[in-house]
Structure 1
Amino acid sequence: MVGDDRIRVAMPHGPAPVDRDGVSDYVAHLVRALDDVGVAVTPVPLRPADRSALRWLTATARAAERVRRLGVDLVHVQFAPSAYRFSGLPGLLPFRLPRTVPLVTTVHEYGSWAAPGWLPGPLWSLLERARLWDRETGRLVPASAAVVVTNEGHDVAVRARTGAPTVRVPLAPNVTDRPDGSTAGRRLRAEIGLPVGAPLLVFFGFVHPVKGIRHLIGALPALRREHPDLRLLVAGGFTSQALPEAEARAFRDELTALTHRHQVADAVTFTGYLPPERASAALHAADVVVLPFTAGVTLKSGALLAALAHGRPTVVTASEDGGDQLHRSGAVAVVPRRRDSEALADTVGRVLADPVLRRRLAERGARWRPATPGPGSPPRTGTSTGGCSDGTMADRCAEILVVDLLGGIGDLLMLLPSIHGLARRNPDARLRVLTHGPGAGLLRVDPAVAEVRTPRHGRPGAERAAVVEALAARRPDLAVTTTRYDGIPDLLLASGARCVTDLWRRPPPDEPVGLRYLRLLHAEGLLARADLDASPRVRLPASARVAGEETVDRLVAATRGPAAAPVVLVTDAGMPVKRWPEHSWRALAERLAALGHPVLTVRSPTGEAHRADGDPPGVPLPPGDLTTLAGQFAATARRGGVIVGPDTGPLRLAAAAGAVTVGLFGPTDARRYGVGGVDLQGLPACPHRRATAITEQPCWWEARCPLDATGPACMADLDVNRVTAAVRAATRHPALVWRPPAA
């Protein structure tokens, strides 16, 4: 029985079952979600009792009468023209509702329909501006205290037409990822007889003429010339509110005939409606998800959001209005022309042929979130309750799992203060970290970390499998992750642990990444205020310190120069876009040597001390693992030395080992990614730099600078004189050096 303290909501909606209508499916999920937070919702379907001409009017009147009998606190109507078979009569509902009860309307479709359609546009505009009548929803939008919209296009249209107050709540994926999704996907591929290694395209969602399946089938012959084993899985039902049963049968027959006409009938499988767990398996089975809608794909599509949430590389058609924030984000591959099989084949073919592009799309898509719509929308919390304290520091966790599978050493080091903070606040906890090597080596000698786990292999799906294994080995009380791709947050949430799964949410452009992590965990009640001042610090065994001292002593002595502070150059970077020009490194080394500084050089992970032919710009440090390198940096720090390098893992390691650093920042914003020593920003006014979305910069992945065809203009802007002056200033301030504690 519902208690008096619960908000009571009546929710009128269309009559179709969830397997025939996306809005009905949305309502089912929404009712459950609201019930979980203490809101009692009574669904009120507008269900015609017969086929008479006035059936929708009668259904509307009956629904209004039921709402009146319920005595609710709020009426929340779910509106889409297709949900009511394009009848305008449900728009009369407000006339029959209690005037004292607030009305809210969610518009799932808006901006392309009118009832009646023959009324001139200028007359509609007069009625809408006066808040008398809306061409699509009748009295629903004009009579509503608030209108819920799911995307920017609907928001703009509602405000422009009626001036009604809107609240934008972005759609969630219409199918959630599942812990066993990858395994289920492999099973499904076997079920449909897909040969090992054969590419699978998947269309997901209700099948309708506007979804572009005709054009996708038309693209298959060209695609199969390059990929003879390629298959297409059309995963979705045909019959829906928008496509009645007779029309659905006719359309399925048409598509089947089309597959025979193009001689691809053996390559196409129509599944019909799939329950959520099978739909999730179909998405996991896909090599590429293709959504070729004839009007283009926008954020209104729950199928799109589901594909991205499952970490699938996704191809979409460009929307008619030129694209939205998603199309500009690089999270999807965009087909430039709609209703065009040749354009589809070209774009899908490029994605299939490029495994790096597929992985990039999958990772960007999994991390992508709509821009924050404004103060009227509820925030995404990224947490769930579990065995740990929720908002206080009173309770402690016995098992903590931290997941950092972003791939870079620097990424792990930025998270290190949070790892140490969690260990301090939970001194009796068993804290495990799942990360990539070689950063794992640093944590294996860290007394705060009980266990370090790494993925078993480098093939696709390894990271997700590693999370599954970690959860199976020990159920955590608390799970924290920086990693958003491949459904990893959903795996953690499904474990029942308290989770913090979005440490990237709403970052200010001038807040350092590591500090952002700390502040979010503090806001969750997991860290104390004192933890906010922490910096990355690596814990080194005595053997690494001794070895570092011996190495630096030997190499500095070999330079046979004056006893000035040594300078270590980190000349390489993991990405070409971050590299300082080779000639600049050589000029810097020559100037520093002339000023009496012993100049040493860090070897790259491949063992090379520099990138060009010829002698390295300095004496190379001997190769070793990260713990060895950290010991060498610590020895340099003890001598008042300086480490110079771009925004890369070894530079962050130097700072964490106690050395003063001079960081060379180009494509990344030094305010957000700075190491904390002397951080120099190249080309500060670059119009293409995006502090909080670096992977969306045009230069990021291939170092193709829009401002300079010869290389990154921001890195070239860092003048050798400026860097030399920064190094000299840093060596004159030994108080800046953090001294590592005695072993």
Structure 2
Amino acid sequence: MRVLMLSWEYPPVVVGGLGRHVHALADRLVRAGHEVVVLCRQPEGTDAVTHPTEDVVLGGVRVVRVAEDPAHLVFERDLVAWVLAMGHAMTRAGLALLLEGWRPDVVHAHDWLVTHPAVALAEASQAPLVATVHATEAGRHSGWLSQTLNQQVHSVEWWLANRADELITCSAAMRAEVAHLFEVEPGGITVLHNGIEPKRWRVRAADVEAARGRHSPDGAPVLLFFGRLEWEKGVQDLIAALPRVRRRHPGTRLVVAGTGTHREWLVEQARKQKVKRAVEFAGHLSDRELAAAIASAAAVVLPSRYEPFGIVALEAAAAGAPLVASTAGGLGEVVLDGETGLSFPPGDVDALARAVCAVLDDRAAAGRRAKAAKARLATDFDWGTIAEGTVEVYRAAVVRERGALGRPKIGTGNVFL
């Protein structure tokens, strides 16, 4: 099949797990004999002079990376305008593909930020539109859409979900969320988990020892969080639990790897909890550094308040680390409590501390759960199987007749209640 994918992330422009998902899916589709074109973008803050539009073939995938237009728009300050401008650039690049005679059998949109170009190009090519919803604005804000920007994003998500001919989510929890928020039938939503390439997370013993010495020179247990530093990732709960863990296991340290808007606030939380010296904010780590840090940790802790899937749990499992995770969203499907890790309710600091202490109390049992988690990757989270499932969705997709869509009504209270 000829597949046109649209994503605002694609390596090396990666903000979160979405970019890695699209890259891996495109790679596996090409390996299976399909023709894939990915429409994506150049880094934020560049322009057509510093970073012109590229049209290259990488690993068999044709990647069209559009340049930013001259307008002075900043993602953090002008989100909606910035997204519309990116979409306009993608639409022009996609129409150029059609003019040269390349037409897709299916258009695949990844998340709300590419809704406008995806809808336009699906209509122009008369191809069915498939959409993967990776997260929702309501979910990121615990059900509250009280600000104008929240409502704008939610309404675009609603449009994409209701305009798409087929919908995909990465977990059963997200399927229920999407059906509820966007008023679509859950039976029409296909669940396809994220996958992982375990080989990428193999690490040399020397690198593990180096990471252990760097993050804990005195040999004390190290807990690791990696991901975006945003409120919904729950790092504040892990910091709040650290004093209780340290009372039972003196010297335990926490390494926080990643960047985000809440970094300084989290530093302040560590200061308030009187554990600032025990918390290392390591910033962005390269893949090699991250794999070594994961493998050297006594436990990887994922305390998310909201998590559509939790690809970081797969990465931790691939590197062989014991897992402690909340049951938020898809994490409850990825980490099986007592089998492949230990779980706790989102936001429950006491339960979080108990789970971490249970890992540190019995390292042998934690190691057995880590091995079980790693073994599960080859069956439940294999990219080849996920790509096959995606092709089945493509083949089932047909352009549906539908009337005009009006603006969705947005509740003034918590939309999850």
TM-score by length of 2: 0.69
Find the counterpart in structure 1 of residue 170 from structure 2: 150
Task: Report how far residue 136 of structure 1 moved.
Answer: 5.1
Judge conservation of contact 1:175–1:280 (CA < 8 Å) in 2.
no
1:2-41 matched pairs, under 5 angstroms: 7-14=1-8, 18-41=13-36
Task: Report how far residue 272 of structure 1 moved.
Answer: 1.2
Q: Does 1:100 align with 2:126?
A: yes
Cα distance between partner residues in 2 of 1:167 and 1:366: 25
1:416-431 matched pairs, under 5 angstroms: none
Task: Report how far residue 158 of structure 1 moved.
Answer: 4.7
Task: Report how far residue 289 of structure 1 moved.
Answer: 0.8
Judge conservation of contact 2:201–2:315 (CA < 8 Å) in 1.
no
How many percent of aligned residue pairs carry the same amino acid? 24
Task: Report how far residue 91 of structure 1 moved.
Answer: 4.7
Cα distance between partner residues in 2 of 1:201 and 1:139: 41
**Aligned with residue 335 of structure 1, among 321, 332, 344:** 344
**Aligned with residue 228 of structure 2, among 203, 206, 221:** 206
1:31-430 matched pairs, under 5 angstroms: 31-45=26-40, 49-51=71-73, 54-71=81-98, 72-73=103-104, 74-79=106-111, 81=112, 84=113, 90-91=115-116, 93-95=118-120, 97-110=123-136, 112=138, 135=155, 137-158=157-178, 161-163=183-185, 165-173=188-196, 177-196=200-219, 198-238=220-260, 248=261, 251-295=262-306, 300-319=309-328, 323-324=332-333, 326-327=335-336, 330-336=339-345, 338-368=346-376
Give the 3 Å change call, closer, same or farther, for CA 341–141 of structure 1 in structure 2.
closer
Judge conservation of contact 1:20–1:237 (CA < 8 Å) in 2.
no
Which one has the bigger helix percentage? 2
Question: Residue 225 of structure 2 aligns to a residue in which SS?
Answer: strand
Question: Residue 112 of structure 1 aligns to a residue in which SS?
Answer: helix
Give the 3 Å change call, closer, same or farther, for CA 252–174 of structure 1 in structure 2.
farther
RMSD: 3.7
Cα distance between partner residues in 2 of 1:274 and 1:101: 40
Judge conservation of contact 1:202–1:233 (CA < 8 Å) in 2.
yes
Cα distance between partner residues in 2 of 1:28 and 1:104: 17
Greater RCO structure (CA 8 Å; 6+ sep) = 2
* Paired residue type of 2:175: D
Give the 3 Å change call, closer, same or farther, for CA 158–345 of structure 1 in structure 2.
closer
Question: Residue 283 of structure 2 aligns to a residue in which SS?
Answer: coil
Give the 3 Å change call, closer, same or farther, for CA 313–54 of structure 1 in structure 2.
closer
Deviations 1:300-342 (A, max 9, x none): 0100111122222111123379954744563221124x32433
Give the 3 Å change call, closer, same or farther, for CA 154–91 of structure 1 in structure 2.
farther
Judge conservation of contact 1:312–1:365 (CA < 8 Å) in 2.
no
Task: Report how far residue 117 of structure 1 moved.
Answer: 5.1
* Paired residue type of 2:27: R
Give the 3 Å change call, closer, same or farther, for CA 110–335 of structure 1 in structure 2.
same
* Paired residue type of 1:308: A
Judge conservation of contact 2:203–2:288 (CA < 8 Å) in 1.
no
Give the 3 Å change call, closer, same or farther, for CA 26–320 of structure 1 in structure 2.
closer
Judge conservation of contact 1:215–1:341 (CA < 8 Å) in 2.
yes
* Paired residue type of 2:115: P
Cα distance between partner residues in 2 of 1:106 and 1:176: 26
1:503-522 matched pairs, under 5 angstroms: none
Deviations 1:647-696 (A, max 9, x none): xxxxxxxxxxxxxxxxxxxxxxxxxxxxxxxxxxxxxxxxxxxxxxxxxx
Give the 3 Å change call, closer, same or farther, for CA 93–8 of structure 1 in structure 2.
closer
Question: Residue 124 of structure 2 aligns to a residue in which SS?
Answer: coil
Give the 3 Å change call, closer, same or farther, for CA 61–111 of structure 1 in structure 2.
closer
1:489-508 matched pairs, under 5 angstroms: none
The answer for unaligned runs of 5 or more in structure 1 is 1-6, 125-133, 239-247, 381-743
The answer for unaligned runs of 5 or more in structure 2 is 42-67, 390-417
Give the 3 Å change call, closer, same or farther, for CA 37–372 of structure 1 in structure 2.
closer
Cα distance between partner residues in 1 of 2:334 and 2:19: 27
Cα distance between partner residues in 2 of 1:211 and 1:25: 18
Give the 3 Å change call, closer, same or farther, for CA 261–28 of structure 1 in structure 2.
same
Cα distance between partner residues in 1 of 2:27 and 2:296: 28
TM-score by length of 1: 0.41
* Paired residue type of 2:5: M
Cα distance between partner residues in 2 of 1:58 and 1:321: 32
* Paired residue type of 1:266: R
Task: Report how far residue 26 of structure 1 moved.
Answer: 2.5
Task: Report how far residue 262 of structure 1 moved.
Answer: 2.6
Judge conservation of contact 2:299–2:322 (CA < 8 Å) in 1.
yes
Give the 3 Å change call, closer, same or farther, for CA 33–271 of structure 1 in structure 2.
farther
Cα distance between partner residues in 2 of 1:213 and 1:55: 29
Task: Report how far residue 170 of structure 1 moved.
Answer: 1.2
Find the counterpart in structure 1 of residue 406 from structure 2: none
Question: Residue 36 of structure 2 aligns to a residue in which SS?
Answer: strand
Judge conservation of contact 1:318–1:327 (CA < 8 Å) in 2.
no
Task: Report how far residue 95 of structure 1 moved.
Answer: 4.0
Computing the radius of gyration from Cα coordinates, the structure with the larger value is 1
Deviations 1:345-384 (A, max 9, x none): 22211221112321232122223358699xx96569xxxx
Cα distance between partner residues in 2 of 1:232 and 1:29: 30
Task: Report how far residue 174 of structure 1 moved.
Answer: 7.9
Judge conservation of contact 1:110–1:136 (CA < 8 Å) in 2.
no
Judge conservation of contact 1:91–1:139 (CA < 8 Å) in 2.
no
Judge conservation of contact 1:92–1:140 (CA < 8 Å) in 2.
no
Judge conservation of contact 1:159–1:165 (CA < 8 Å) in 2.
no
Cα distance between partner residues in 2 of 1:210 and 1:44: 29
Give the 3 Å change call, closer, same or farther, for CA 41–99 of structure 1 in structure 2.
closer
Find the counterpart in structure 1 of residue 48 from structure 2: none
Task: Report how far residue 261 of structure 1 moved.
Answer: 2.9
Give the 3 Å change call, closer, same or farther, for CA 138–60 of structure 1 in structure 2.
farther
Question: Residue 126 of structure 2 aligns to a residue in which SS?
Answer: coil
Judge conservation of contact 1:174–1:305 (CA < 8 Å) in 2.
no
Task: Report how far residue 264 of structure 1 moved.
Answer: 2.0
Question: Residue 26 of structure 1 aligns to a residue in which SS?
Answer: helix
Cα distance between partner residues in 2 of 1:325 and 1:12: 26
Question: Residue 137 of structure 1 aligns to a residue in which SS?
Answer: helix
Give the 3 Å change call, closer, same or farther, for CA 326–232 of structure 1 in structure 2.
closer
